[in-house]
Amino acid sequence: MENSEAFERHHLLIYLVKWLPLAALVALLAGTASAFFLFALEWATATRIAHRELMLALPLAGFFVGWLYLRFGQQVEAGNNLLIDEIHDPKKVIPLRMAPLVLAGTVISHLVGASVGREGTAVQMGGALADQLTHVFKLKSEDRRILLMAGISAGFASVFGTPLAGAIFGLEVLAIGRLRFDSLLPCLIAAVVADQVGLLWGVHHTHYHIANIPGFNAWIVLAILFAGAVFGLTGRVFATLTHGLSTLMKDSIGYAPLRPFLGGIVVASVAYFFNADRFIGLGIPGIVDAFAHPLASYDFAVKGLFTIASLGTGFKGGEVTPLFYIGASLGNILAPFLHLPFALLAGLGFVAVFAGAANTPIASTFMAIELFGADIGVYAALACVVSYLFSGDTGIYRAQRKAQAKHQATLESNW
């Protein structure tokens, strides 16, 4: 007893002495990468808006991104899924090139106005940079798992300015229905420090404001449960269609660069000729609008189609910010039917479509609290958990393990 306690204390100290600096180092790398990525993104978006004709370069830019990955990036093309797979079953250190490739691919995608996000980029840069420490410090496979989770947490936290959501995301994204605590401290430290590193570099995150969060009553709960189901089904349809288009393109077009070339033609011609500029790029102004005034009823669907056409054909950046847009604009139009303030529903949709599509209800609840304040906590939790239940087993991350049936009473002694 005495011996095992002494051993455990010894072990805990070694764990801390090892992981506090390592997590901080991961945070320094990932937070810096996120900061420069966000600056590049700002530049790309401003440039695109200043030169509308840049969107006509979508097909060519798509071809170039496809060629880049075909020529240099076949090992890292699986992106977030490669990270998740390596955490579950560590085999080989992630090639460092994942970071510059996804950075270049994303900035180019945004420069010409593909409808893509940014979390994929931040997470992949965070994961790939973190994993390089494996060589530097000659770490074992068990340690690589923690390193990669911390990299994911740090990337997510610093790109969105949400450290708690980032910390939990790195644990929760790995498997559906179960959360393991073994890397909780490294992920938390990496997320908190990376967020601060980004702020020190001068990053500004968009602020969203929900003026009026109504008090609790039975109607609100039922309305939010209903909205949560709609958000979850939307996340599910989005994930299914994106995967479906991606598979279809891979099956029917052998030469990879042609896929985003085609996707670029579709996105560019629709956006250019229908003046659908609000649906291309990251879409932050559209998200902000969803908190401020009623939107057109088709907003979320059009943004969804633009995003599916961009990501499903091979543009880079990730799904999450478009999902924020889809969720916020969907919530915005659901609000009048549910007799609730549209800013509240926009905020709930923002986090809950993502919660369903990524199967991360707890990280998403923390995100709502970090972005919109503590008062939204219970409503966000209800929307995110119901969305998670309704999104089925098709998430945006194919590599996610299915640890457990989402809605099934199980007798299981295996804890």
Residues numbered 345-364 forming contacts with a copy of itself, rule: CB under 8 A: 361-362
Q: Does 366 bind a copy of itself (CB under 8 A)?
A: yes
Position of tokens 């279809």? 248
Q: Does 337 bind a copy of itself (CB under 8 A)?
A: no
Nearest alpha carbon to residue 150 among 33, 64, 30, 264:
30
283's torsion region: left (phi>0), alpha (psi -120 to 50) or beta? Answer: left
Residue recorded with tokens 């239940």: 389
Residue among 208, 231, 350, 390 that touches a copy of itself (CB under 8 A): 390
Measured at the CA of 110, the angle between CA 46 and CA 123, to 5 degrees, comes to: 115
Contact 266, 115 (CB under 8 A): no
Interaction between residue 21 and a copy of itself (CB under 8 A): no
Structure-token match 């990270």, residue found: 83
Length of the chain: 415
**Which residue in 28, 100, 377, 398 binds a copy of itself (CB under 8 A)?**
377
| 3 state DSSP class of 91 | coil
Least separation, in Å, of the C-beta of 337 and a copy of itself? 20
Which residue of 180, 204, 207, 209 would you call a contact of a copy of itself, by CB under 8 A? 180
Looking at residues 74 to 93 of the shown chain, list those that interact with a copy of itself (rule: CB under 8 A).
Answer: 88-90
Burial class (CB in 10 A: 0-12, 13-18, 19+), 160: buried
Q: Which stretch binds a copy of itself (CB under 8 A): 32-40, 101-109, 172-180, 286-294?
A: 172-180
The closest of 396, 346, 335 to 371, measured between CA atoms, is 346
DSSP code at position 373 = -
Within residues 196-235, the interface with a copy of itself by CB under 8 A covers: 196, 216, 221, 225
- For a copy of itself, which residue of 381, 396, 397, 399 counts as binding (CB under 8 A)? 381
Residue closest to 211 by CA, chosen among 376, 10, 41, 351: 376
Residue in 18, 39, 20, 40 with CA at minimum distance from that of residue 28: 20
414 counts as binding a copy of itself under rule CB under 8 A: yes
Q: Tokens in use for 72? A: 């240099």
Decide whether 51 or 180 has the Cβ nearer to a copy of itself: 180
Binder among 385, 395, 397, 399 for a copy of itself (CB under 8 A): 385
Please pick, from the candidates 25, 26, 55, 192, the single residue that binds a copy of itself as defined by CB under 8 A: 192
Find the part of the chain contacting a copy of itself (CB under 8 A) among 91-99, 191-199, 291-299, 310-318. 191-199
* Smallest distance from a copy of itself to CB 326, Å: 22
Binding track, positions 287-326, relative to a copy of itself; x by CB under 8 A: ----------------------------------------
Contact segment (CB under 8 A) with a copy of itself among 111-119, 124-132, 183-191, 291-299 equals: 183-191
